[in-house]
A = this chain, B = another copy of it.
Amino acid sequence: MPYTQDDLSNLFDFYSHQLLQNTVPFWFPRSIDEEFGGFLLMRDADGTLIDDDKAVWIQGRATWLLATLYNTVEQKQEWLDGARIGYEFLNNHCFDTDGQMFFHVTRDGKPIRKRRYFFSETFYVIAAAAYAKASGSEEAAEKARMVFGKCIEYATTPGLLQPKFLNTRPSKGIGVPMIMMNTAQQLRETIGDPRCDTWITTWIEQIETNFVKDDIRCVMEQVALDGSIIDHIDGRTLNPGHSIEGAWFILHEAIYRNNDKHLIDLGCRMLDYMWERGWDKTYGGLMYFKDVYNKPVQEYWQDMKFWWPHNEAIIATLLAFLITGDEKYAKWHKQVHDYAYQHFHDIIYGEWFGYLHRDGTVAQTAKGNLFKGPFHLPRQEWYCMQLLKDYAK
């Protein structure tokens, strides 16, 4: 049964309430580090700090969130101030002398680890761009555009970043075109950049041509340079939540491009394929990894339920329903929404647990760590709230 106007109105209320009364208050204002700048985000279930280190991805993402709330929900001074503190910490402490960013720094901004890819940079771009829009800072806008240019360079110049693997079996991952597409979308929607549309077209073409396999109804996580499937453990490993995230980036683009039919079809196919492969028919929820041929995957925790694939699936199914009106998507949305808020949401302290066993029991209580922080959940609640604005009472 498709969602009625009333259902959508209730969903708007639910997501707005969760975002503003539950998720955001878990993190802020307590996580703002008045002493050293940036945010203290590695927290246990009850909010206790378990580590004062700073994960650069999450510093960027939290900055993006605060600036985005300011830009789109309400011009609260505390959100703008928080975004500035995050933006300045990123500038002052998270860049190496070679222009690359670190991955993990101490509370006072000393580098612990640098990695061989450039996702710290992509999250910096969305942070600086959203902050530039919020603050009107021309400097922030320039920095966002400059680092976006660097990301394009990293993405298109083989060997510019030190590779993790030797050159015997070259491969490429869906992560780069996907995250770059969303980075460009964010840049375009905040401060604008003439490069975005062309690049987004290119990245979507790359995803469609290389990673989407209609014959086997699958979106690959990595492929050989010619787009063929690499029949080894790593090459066969699928990440349904990641592909579903890519699906909604494409559906989002479809709307921007006046409900582009080709993109709607592409995004829905990606969602369909990976829902079928990822949804756990026994316990509910999305599996983390699957093998394309259902062989064992290397990652022994492959059947765990992580928070973020559920955030991405909630967005993707809602978007797909609103665009197509297909009741299948309403059904899936309700399924993943219900599963997620029943199993991940912490009714005592707010926010979500990050990691469940396959059977839905909590495996690890941290709300924030090196990889989890105020991003996927608040982004989902914020994005769905924006989508459903027209249904607000």
Contacts and interface: CB of A to CB of B under 8 A. Distances in A.
Contact of A370 (B298, B304, B369): B298
A62 interface: no
A33 interface: no
A202 interface: no
Interface of chain A, helix or strand or loop or mixed? loop
B50 A112 contact: no
Given A51-B233, A166-B113, A369-B296, A363 B44 contact: no
A376 to B, nearest CB: 15
Nearest to A50: B295
A233 B50 contact: yes
A354 interface: yes
Most chain-B Cβ atoms within 10 A of its Cβ — which of A110, A114, A166? A166
A169 interface: yes
A256 interface: no
Interface residues of A, number: 42
Most chain-B Cβ atoms within 10 A of its Cβ — which of A42, A50, A110, A366? A50
A53 interface: yes
Interface of A: 42, 44, 50-53, 102, 105-106, 110-114, 164-166, 168-169, 232-233, 295-298, 300-304, 306, 354-355, 357-358, 363-366, 369-371
7 contacts: A51-B233, A52-B232, A112-B166, A112-B169, A298-B369, A301-B363, A357-B357
